[in-house]
Structure 1
Amino acid sequence: MTKALKVFSAGNEVSIVRSRGVSGAAKVLLLTASLTALAVAQPAFAERSVPQTQSEVQLSYAPLVKQTAPAVVNVYAERMVERQISPLFSDPFFGQFFGRQAPQGRSQKQMSLGSGVIVAGDGIVITNNHVISGADEVKVALSDGREFPCKVLLKDDRYDLAVLKIRSDETFPTVPIGNSDDVEVGDITLAIGNPFGVGQTVTSGIVSGTARNSITDGEFGFFLQTDAAINPGNSGGALLDMHGDLIGINTAIFSKGGGSNGIGFAIPANMVKVFLAAAESGEKHFQRPYVGATFGPVTSDMAEALGLKAARGAIVSDIVPGSPAEKAGLKTGSVIVAVNGVPVQHPDALLYRLTVLGIGEKADLSVDRNGTISDVSLPLQLAPEDPPRDTRQISGNSPFAGLTVENISPRVIEEMRLPDGAKGVVVSEIENGSPAARVGFARGDIIVAVNDDNIDTTRMMENVAEQSPGYWKLSINRGGRMITQLFR
């Protein structure tokens, strides 16, 4: 069950975060909100080892904190929202006092605070998408108190990542990005932030788990778990290893009441690297490799029926004809158990491994079919734009006037997150104040049929909109749900 939870700081309401019920009273809290989080680092040991002497026990994290803290910024996201007015103003009796017109709602400024990590000297900052989502203006504040405006280069709510560029020509301190695949359960970690507005706080812990999934409601499902205390306010902050390298971006916690229970989650640094590379190449949408197959988890019953040693891996449940998956020789019922020799625990882990390999690479899959392990080479490429999107803007006096529509291809399905196998044309934009806006069209609506005629292309949609029938019967697919409407 999903509930809205309020998070308070110093007696004032800071934000409302969503949680999803798990195991009774436990909740998943995105660290949205909240307040500033500064990343921290760790003492550099030559090797991983348990302290053996008193002098080793007395080692301090302070030198690495001083070294890395300047590269962690506070992120301020400002947005203007329309304040609701009393419903009494819609009453005709009250309307006479306002010239039959209710007063307009007032706009007010709303601000969310989070953290970011400078990862390039020219001012490239990585943070969580939910920290800057919907912002009209984004600023960062350095540890020395200076503030700078920022430009959003790339953001994606599926992966909850965003890349900012500080608008300045000066050179900034950075935190190096480590290899999150080298992280092992038991490694010491440090986190730093401003939980609940109490001030900069450094916490330490260990890596409690890797490859965690089903943590948030988003599509991304591969997290590092740590018991370093993470609270609302640490959002977008850094999780660092004992070398001072970034190993993750703090994102979510399990919590009963909004505070830390020692179960925090971070997006792995290797995912951050791929996202940064996409931003620096000028991409407007983050593209993951196109496989052309659907994968499901392997249950205990499946494992027994398939003769697997354990209920792990990703089973192929469907394959798109002509896709890279089909060309590589994957078949439904096959179970992918490893990518480039790295074991795959679940479908989220498989998609993570393919994504971090990157477009243009090849993935060597270990596939178990009927108890026999075979190797399959899968090329990782962009989803094809076939048919071409042929973008068209609908004009005229029909209910569709003001729509911008595109043909549906695997690329468009990926960019707009449409249902697999969707048919029709998709709405990519709606002009404000247009007939289409008044009708209630939404971005991502798939126009399937008009007056019972299937709409297969944008050209067909444009031709249909120029007609003048006595009525309009519209069938659309909105988020996988079919809706039929009638207009006269």
Structure 2
Amino acid sequence: MIQRFAFLVWPILSGILAAVALLIYLPDTFAPQTNTVQIRQVDTPSTEMRGPFSYADAVEHAASSVVNIYTRTVVPSSNKQIYSDPSIRKYYDAKTGHKERIQSSLGSGVILSPEGYIATNNHVISGADSIVVALKDGREATATVVGNDPDTDLAVLKINLTNLPSITVSSSANLRVGDVALAIGNPFGVGQTVTMGIISATGRNQLGLNTYEDFIQTDAAINPGNSGGALINAEGNLIGINTAIFTRSGGSQGIGFAIPSDQAKQVMQDLIDHGRVIRGWVGVEAQEITPELAESFGLKDTKGLIIAGIYRDGPAHKAGLLPGDILLEIGGKKIVNSFNSMYSVARMPPGTVLPVKIWRNGEAKELEITVTQRPAIANPITEIPAQPSTEETNKEKASQ
């Protein structure tokens, strides 16, 4: 019996020895199959990631330049019920029953130059009959309005005091999401207050707050009274003017907005030099293209603006644009949305020759528009109500 199976001994023994050798020298051969997941781990944070333990130096550097602004507005009021009371009837006009009352409000501002120029929000001082600025060192002064720009909600004030501290300004173009941000202002009138957060986003627009929006978003607490105050970086340099918050309770909920320092500087300089902000203008009204419109015009996508109206004798009219044309590119850049296009034109100095690419009657055309200064609101320009016929267009172009 043993001799019958003797021929199997050496094959079995060889197989066992081979298996043992594989387990010793190639252990992964018999290991269960698993998915490889690469995880990068650091044991200690790098030096660049370590923030300071205190921002006191940054606050000390900037705080003296942030002021409290108190406004008083005389508003008429009437109350027939009070007027009927003989004991106080003498305080009212015997014919009309009207009496003036004083309405007070508060906000913040930032001293941007030793000459006494202060940047704040237009809504802080709009309609005020008197404006008082209170400095951190205890001094107070009556301010005059140098100019205001409702389109960006900025205003510039001037006070006549000596030895004024002024803030240092950092370009807002260098901001990155995640940078530390500190908000300084006078929330609820409790006195100068500092809150800390980060830059949550840049270039926020289409919020319905201003005509020209390019907001810095931050979660540093901004409350009523902070408007017009300073948003500074970790070095204490100005990066924005605090302006608005999104809230359902009336207080801060971590979504605040500030006007970038670059925009604030440009508006302030224009208001000081010209009394108004100088903006580029091409004289069109445009709307964004829907997928349905894109299909009807034979376009592959919705990246473009349809010209809904053109101001007569404006730059676009003189360049040959017509209602119904579709703007595809402005200044060599493709259209992203109507706001970005409008804002890019507004930042161009008058006299700039602006190449545009349009789509008309199923083909692309290139034109050049000479940007002019945006007209004052007080001087309305008549719109071309509808697209003229080819014959009318030729006559009109020939008469120019």
- Give the alignment partner of residue 118 of structure 1, picking from 111, 117, 123: 111
Query: 2:325 touches 2:358 (CA, 8 Å); kept in 1?
Result: no
**1:84 equivalenced with 2:75 (yes/no):** no
Distance 1:107 1:318, change over 3 A: closer
**1:142 equivalenced with 2:118 (yes/no):** no
* CA deviations over 1:8-46 (Å, ceiling 9, x no partner): xxxxxxxxxxxxxxxxxxxxxxxxxxxxxxxxxxxxxxx
**1:56 equivalenced with 2:50 (yes/no):** yes
User: CA separation in 2, counterparts of 1:142 and 1:155?
Assistant: 22
* CA deviations over 1:200-220 (Å, ceiling 9, x no partner): 332222322233233235433
* CA deviations over 1:342-383 (Å, ceiling 9, x no partner): x764322222222333445x2656646489998765433225
Please state how far the C-alpha of 1:250 moved relative to its aligned partner: 1.5
Query: 1:113 touches 1:233 (CA, 8 Å); kept in 2?
Result: yes
User: CA separation in 2, counterparts of 1:421 and 1:183?
Assistant: 40
Please state how far the C-alpha of 1:87 moved relative to its aligned partner: 4.9
After TM superposition, the structure 1 stretch with the greater mean CA deviation from structure 2, 332-341 or 266-275, is 332-341
User: CA separation in 2, counterparts of 1:107 and 1:97?
Assistant: 13
Distance 1:271 1:66, change over 3 A: same
User: CA separation in 1, counterparts of 2:90 and 2:144?
Assistant: 45
- What secondary structure does 2:143 align onto? strand
- What secondary structure does 1:108 align onto? strand
**1:324 equivalenced with 2:315 (yes/no):** yes
| Matched AA of 2:383 | G
Q: TM-score, normalised by structure 1?
A: 0.59
Q: What is aligned with 2:102?
A: 109
| Matched AA of 1:56 | R
- What secondary structure does 1:106 align onto? strand
Distance 1:316 1:103, change over 3 A: closer
- Give the alignment partner of residue 371 of structure 2, picking from 374, 380, 388: 380
- Give the alignment partner of residue 251 of structure 1, picking from 243, 246, 251: 243
| Matched AA of 1:350 | S
- Give the alignment partner of residue 227 of structure 1, picking from 194, 219, 234: 219
- What secondary structure does 2:213 align onto? coil
Please state how far the C-alpha of 1:261 moved relative to its aligned partner: 1.5
After TM superposition, the structure 1 stretch with the greater mean CA deviation from structure 2, 75-84 or 53-62, is 53-62
Question: What are the equivalent positions in structure 2 for 1:148-187 lying under 5 Å apart?
Answer: 148-168=141-161, 170-187=162-179
Please tell me whether Structure 1 or Structure 2 has the larger radius of gyration of its CA atoms.
Answer: 2
Query: 1:189 touches 1:226 (CA, 8 Å); kept in 2?
Result: yes
User: CA separation in 1, counterparts of 2:306 and 2:108?
Assistant: 38
- Give the alignment partner of residue 265 of structure 2, picking from 263, 269, 273: 273
Please state how far the C-alpha of 1:225 moved relative to its aligned partner: 1.8
- Give the alignment partner of residue 71 of structure 1, picking from 44, 65, 68: 65
> Kindly, what percent of the aligned residue pairs are identical?
39
Query: 1:354 touches 1:363 (CA, 8 Å); kept in 2?
Result: no
**1:128 equivalenced with 2:124 (yes/no):** no
Query: 2:279 touches 2:348 (CA, 8 Å); kept in 1?
Result: no
- What secondary structure does 1:186 align onto? coil
User: CA separation in 1, counterparts of 2:231 and 2:90?
Assistant: 58
| Matched AA of 2:250 | G
Please state how far the C-alpha of 1:418 moved relative to its aligned partner: 4.7
- Give the alignment partner of residue 297 of structure 1, picking from 269, 272, 288: 288
- What secondary structure does 1:228 align onto? coil
Query: 2:93 touches 2:99 (CA, 8 Å); kept in 1?
Result: no
Query: 1:270 touches 1:356 (CA, 8 Å); kept in 2?
Result: no
- What secondary structure does 1:120 align onto? coil
User: CA separation in 1, counterparts of 2:165 and 2:189?
Assistant: 25
Query: 2:281 touches 2:345 (CA, 8 Å); kept in 1?
Result: no
**Greater share of residues in strand:** 1
User: CA separation in 2, counterparts of 1:87 and 1:103?
Assistant: 13
* CA deviations over 1:83-117 (Å, ceiling 9, x no partner): 322257489x99x9999945743323221110111
Distance 1:258 1:167, change over 3 A: same
**How many residues are aligned here?**
337
Please state how far the C-alpha of 1:179 moved relative to its aligned partner: 2.9
**1:334 equivalenced with 2:326 (yes/no):** yes
Query: 2:282 touches 2:371 (CA, 8 Å); kept in 1?
Result: yes
List runs of 5+ in structure 2 lacking aligned partners: 1-43, 386-400
Distance 1:377 1:150, change over 3 A: farther
Query: 1:364 touches 1:375 (CA, 8 Å); kept in 2?
Result: no
Distance 1:363 1:347, change over 3 A: farther
Distance 1:178 1:106, change over 3 A: same
- What secondary structure does 2:309 align onto? strand
Query: 1:119 touches 1:174 (CA, 8 Å); kept in 2?
Result: yes
Query: 1:336 touches 1:366 (CA, 8 Å); kept in 2?
Result: yes
**1:421 equivalenced with 2:383 (yes/no):** yes
Q: What is aligned with 2:346?
A: 355
User: CA separation in 1, counterparts of 2:206 and 2:118?
Assistant: 27
**Greater share of residues in helix:** 2
Query: 1:89 touches 1:103 (CA, 8 Å); kept in 2?
Result: no
RMSD of equivalent CA atoms: 3.8
**1:211 equivalenced with 2:173 (yes/no):** no
Query: 1:226 touches 1:265 (CA, 8 Å); kept in 2?
Result: yes
Query: 1:80 touches 1:136 (CA, 8 Å); kept in 2?
Result: yes
User: CA separation in 2, counterparts of 1:173 and 1:88?
Assistant: 48
Distance 1:292 1:61, change over 3 A: same
User: CA separation in 2, counterparts of 1:176 and 1:420?
Assistant: 44
| Matched AA of 1:159 | T
**1:200 equivalenced with 2:192 (yes/no):** yes
| Matched AA of 1:158 | D
Question: What are the equivalent positions in structure 2 for 1:477-488 lying under 5 Å apart?
Answer: none
Question: What are the equivalent positions in structure 2 for 1:414-453 lying under 5 Å apart?
Answer: 414-416=376-378, 418=380, 421=383
**1:239 equivalenced with 2:231 (yes/no):** yes
After TM superposition, the structure 1 stretch with the greater mean CA deviation from structure 2, 313-322 or 140-149, is 313-322
Distance 1:174 1:369, change over 3 A: farther
